[in-house]
Amino acid sequence: MNHLLSMNELSLNDIQYILNKATDYIKGRKEHRMQDFMVANLFFEPSTRTKFSFEAAEHRLGIKALNVEGSTSSLQKGETLYDTLRTLEEIGVSAFVIRHPQDRYFDGLAEKVNVPIINAGDGCGNHPTQSLLDLLTIQQEFIVLQGLTVVIVGDILHSRVARSNAEVLRKMGAKVLFSGPKEWFVDEWRKDFIPMDEAVKTADVMMMLRIQHERHTKSMLLPKEEYHQKFGLTVEREQNMKSHSIIMHPAPVNRGVELADELVECQRSRIFKQVQNGVYIRMAVLKWALTTNQEAVANGLFT
Ligand code: CP
């Protein structure tokens, strides 16, 4: 079964399939017979981009979407997530899209359910569909990732995007460096630190991250303006970037903190392109997860 839980579990072939399929959708390719599927979207953490781009992707593919609200479902009465998923399976759901605040909420679930789980973000752990849309955005710009330098900047320790992206970018041949406050570094990546003033001169991609206050146990000590000057992508630093280099951010952006307000929609910024690519990537992921499901194939849903 094709769960999508983390980027580690995806082969390079799977990644390429998804990127190619997303590119086909961008070019206008239509899918047939996806209307036989029903997908449950379960979001237990706030989301704008991921939640609504999954809904948009399902709509475009003709898939019926069931949006399960934690606050109005029987989870409120103490039902476990497993029993909720099993119930939805019996109702006829073909896949689950789940965002959850707990790291690896899917451990112990994925092996027990009978339809794919697509991870829409787990705590500080993984955000594979964000990673895939980031790969597509970089590929659109540079064609190949081999030899590129990507600098990931900011609250790395609490970022599921940094974790998901760093490994796959390296697997695909990019050099990945990190910048930001050292107390938010992951131990194994300390050797790959680069100061911001050097990073802007070196990077082909500056991947900026929001400070994940909601995952901090103590509040940030630096005032926002001081953080911006020390660790942020300021207007002055942007002027030292290479002519072809781009700015990415998974968003939401805290304007004026990790990224200058003026740079959010500047000529180098691909932030809203990332959002647009997110719909096509999620269409491709749904196609991948559902159409290679053996049971669905056996039931003749695919030609
Ligand atoms: N990038 C991202 O996951 O955004 P949302 O939290 O709005 O889904």
Q: Whose CA is nearest to atom 6 of ligand 1?
A: 47
Which atom of ligand 1 sits closest to the CA of residue 121?
3
What residues pair up with 143 in beta bridges, in sequence order?
Answer: none
Beta strands 205-208 and 246-248, pairing class: parallel
- How far is ligand 1, taken at its centre, from the CA of residue 250, in Å? 7
pLDDT at 121: 97
pLDDT at 217: 77
Dist. CA 194–CA 191, nearest whole Å: 9
- Asked if ipTM goes beyond 0.85, one says yes
Measured between alpha carbons, how far is residue 278 from residues 32, 130, 134, 197 in Å?
21, 7, 8, 30
Q: What structural domains and CATH numbers belong to the chain? A: 7-127+276-298 (3.40.50.1370), 128-274 (3.40.50.1370)
49 a known binding residue? yes
Residues in Cβ contact with 38 at an 8 Å cutoff, skipping those fewer than 6 apart: 63, 64, 65, 66, 91, 92, 93, 94
Say which DSSP state 251 is in: S
77 a known binding residue? yes
**DSSP-assigned states of every residue in 89-115:** HHHT--EEEEEESSTTTTTTTTTT-SS
Hey, which of 122, 130, 209, 210 would you mutate to test ligand 1's pocket, going by the most ligand atoms within 8 Å of its Cβ? Answer: 130
- How far is ligand 1, taken at its centre, from the CA of residue 129, in Å? 10
Which atom of ligand 1 sits closest to the CA of residue 120?
3
104 a known binding residue? no
What angle is formed at CA 126 by the lines to CA 120 and CA 127, rounded to 5 degrees? 40
**Which DSSP helix (H) or strand (E) runs through 39?**
strand 38-43
pLDDT at 247: 98
pLDDT at 71: 80
The pocket around ligand 1, CB under 6 angstroms, is made up of 47-51, 121, 130, 250-252
Nearest to 284 by CA among 81, 2, 19: 19
Nearest to 260 by CA among 229, 223, 299: 229
pLDDT at 303: 35
163 a known binding residue? no
- How far is ligand 1, taken at its centre, from the CA of residue 275, in Å? 9
Phi, psi dihedrals of residue 39, rounded to the nearest 5°: -120, 135
pLDDT at 214: 84
Nearest to 279 by CA among 37, 99, 54: 54
Which atom of ligand 1 sits closest to the CA of residue 251?
1
pLDDT at 220: 67
Per-residue pLDDT of the chain (303 residues; tens, 9 = 90+): 899 999 999 999 999 999 999 999 999 998 877 999 999 999 999 999 999 999 999 999 999 999 998 788 888 889 999 999 999 999 999 999 999 999 999 999 999 999 999 999 999 999 999 999 999 999 999 999 999 999 999 999 999 999 899 999 999 999 999 999 998 998 999 999 999 999 999 999 999 999 988 888 777 668 999 999 999 999 999 999 999 999 999 999 999 999 999 999 999 999 999 999 999 999 999 999 998 744 444 444 443
Q: Whose CA is nearest to atom 1 of ligand 1?
A: 250
